[in-house]
Amino acid sequence: MEYPEPLSVLDAQGNYDPNRAPAELRPYLDELGLDKLKQFFADMYITRVFDKDASNLQRQGQLGLWIPSQGQEAVQVAAAYASRPDDYIFPAYREHAIARIRGIDPFDILRWLRGNTHGGWDPKKHNFHIYTVVIGAHALHATGYAMGINLDREKDPSVDKAVMVFYGDGATSQGDTNEAMIFAASYKTPQVFVVQNNQWAISVPVTVQSKTPIYLRAQGFGIPSWQIDGNDVMVSYALAKHALNSARNGGGPQFIEAVTYRQGAHTSSDDPTKYEDPEMRAEWLEKDPIKRLEIYLRAQGVEEEFFTALDAEAKEYAAGIRARLIALGAPETSTMFRNVYSEYHPVTEAQEKWLADYEASFEVEI
């Protein structure tokens, strides 16, 4: 079966055509002046430089794991700016661009993947939940939170917060995400589901995961849905804002499938050369979200100086985080025993002692 192309207004060659968007998105596209687009570009660019450096840090033995976001920056930056600070966001584990814009210090993401902290940040402070690695589990948390907003609204009709939840194409096969959609539709929650379809669930291609475009599934739950080019920051912004406003104004849950590509490995533990078709990869690299916005900005008269200064800023930013990370040192082994229960527990105490004795049994310090 043939399906239409995802909605896009900024194509891979950097051509902008707002007429391709439906009328309800036009007011949001009109908000996108040059200053805002330069800000979007800066956030995408800085996240990518940080992300690449984080991959290097993993290879240099400074992190247990890294989860790259490379290639998915556009929809993330767009959604972050489309949301209001009091909207609550539930990320999966690859939403580094959103985390940064929400005020999370990316250093805290690295501390988490180094084992120095089990959470990383205070979700309430940023209205940005901690990362969830259990695929799809947080979709239920998001729907539960959004049901809570409805209860708050019964007491105070001026409450107009919304929830956004992010997960991947693979997560759409989990029971949790489907159950979350059922409850969201039934209880008409103020909530936007954002699926970043990056074409892969580790090595499983989306063509195996779903036999229809993912956004069509939502309609079976009675949830309005769209499919957009997630590498187009402009359409991503306009639709995210439209969907959030519909959700907060009583329209119930909304669903966005942002079609994008995972340019990096699934994580640093994965080797995509074992399963990725190099031609497909090359085609997607041509559709890079940063490249196309750069072409557009240059065509609008943004000068070289902006790009050069941004590159220097991004490198300095990443270097600063790197230095702080290396200064952290190794996490204490005791933390893995002492954080299991809220109070110290005889079983974990015995385990901690066993490990200490075991390590002491080596002649060489490890």
Ligand X SMILES: Cc1ncc(C[n+]2csc(CCOP(=O)(O)OP(=O)(O)O)c2C)c(N)n1
Asked if 356 touches ligand X (CB under 6 A), the answer is no
> Could you tell me the smallest distance in angstroms from the CB atom of residue 196 to ligand X?
6
The residues that touch Mg ion, with contacts defined as CB under 5 A, are 168-170, 198, 200-201
As measured in angstroms, the least distance from the Cβ of 200 to Mg ion is: 5
CB of 135 to ligand X, least distance (A): 4
Question: Can you read off the two tokens belonging to residue 29?
Answer: 């596209």
Considering beta carbons, is residue 199 or 245 the nearer one to ligand X?
199
Enter the DSSP assignment of 173: G
Instruction: Please pick, among 94, 266, 292, 322, the residue that the annotation labels catalytic.
Output: 266
Residue from 54, 140, 171, 256 that binds ligand X (CB under 6 A)? 171
Instruction: Please tell me the distance from the alpha carbon of residue 111 to that of residue 116, in angstroms, as a whole number.
Output: 5
202 makes contact, choosing from Mg ion, ligand X, none, with CB < 5 to 8 Å by partner type, with ligand X
Angle at the Cα of 298 from the Cα atoms of 243 and 48, rounded to 5 degrees: 60
Q: Pick from ligand X, Mg ion, none: which does 266 bind, CB < 5 to 8 A by kind?
A: ligand X
By CB under 6 A, name the one of 180, 201, 235, 240 that touches ligand X: 201
CA distance readout (Å), 95 to 12, 139, 178, 180, 196:
22, 15, 21, 20, 10
Kindly state whether residue 193 participates in binding ligand X, applying the rule CB under 6 A.
no
198 part of the interface to ligand X, by CB under 6 A: yes
Pairwise CA distance, residues 194 & 143, whole Å: 13
85 burial via Cβ count (<10 Å: 0-12, 13-18, 19+): exposed
The gap from C-alpha 289 to its chain's centroid, in whole angstroms, comes to 15
Catalytic residue (choose from 242, 262, 292, 322): 262
How long is the chain? 366
Interatomic CA distance for residues 99 and 138, integer angstroms: 16
184 contact, one of ligand X, Mg ion, none, CB 5-8 Å limit per kind: none
Q: Which does 318 bind (CB under 5 to 8 A by kind): Mg ion, ligand X, none?
A: none
Per partner kind, with CB cut-offs from 5 to 8 A, the member of Mg ion, ligand X, none near residue 134 is ligand X
Q: Which helix (H) or strand (E) holds 126?
A: helix 123-126
Residue number with CB closer to Mg ion (170 or 190): 170
Query: How buried is 3 (Cβ within 10 angstroms: 0-12 exposed, 13-18 middle, 19+ buried)?
Result: exposed
Task: Confirm or reject binding of residue 135 to ligand X (CB under 6 A).
Answer: yes
114 catalytic? Reply is no
Q: How many residues bind ligand X (CB under 6 A)?
A: 15
262 binds ligand X (CB under 6 A): yes
Q: Examine the residue annotation and report whether 275 is marked as an active-site residue of this protein.
A: yes
Question: Which listed option, ligand X, Mg ion, none, makes contact with residue 133 (CB within 5 to 8 Å by class)?
Answer: ligand X
**Max Cα–Cα distance, the chain, nearest Å:** 73
Give me the 76-95 binding string for ligand X, x by CB under 6 A, dash otherwise. Answer: ------------------x-
The full DSSP string for 221-237 is: TT--EEEEETT-HHHHH
Task: Give CA–CA dist 144/180, Å, rounded.
Answer: 8
The set of catalytic residues is 262, 266, 275
| Chain residues that interact with ligand X, rule: CB under 6 A | 94, 133-135, 167-171, 198, 200-202, 262, 266
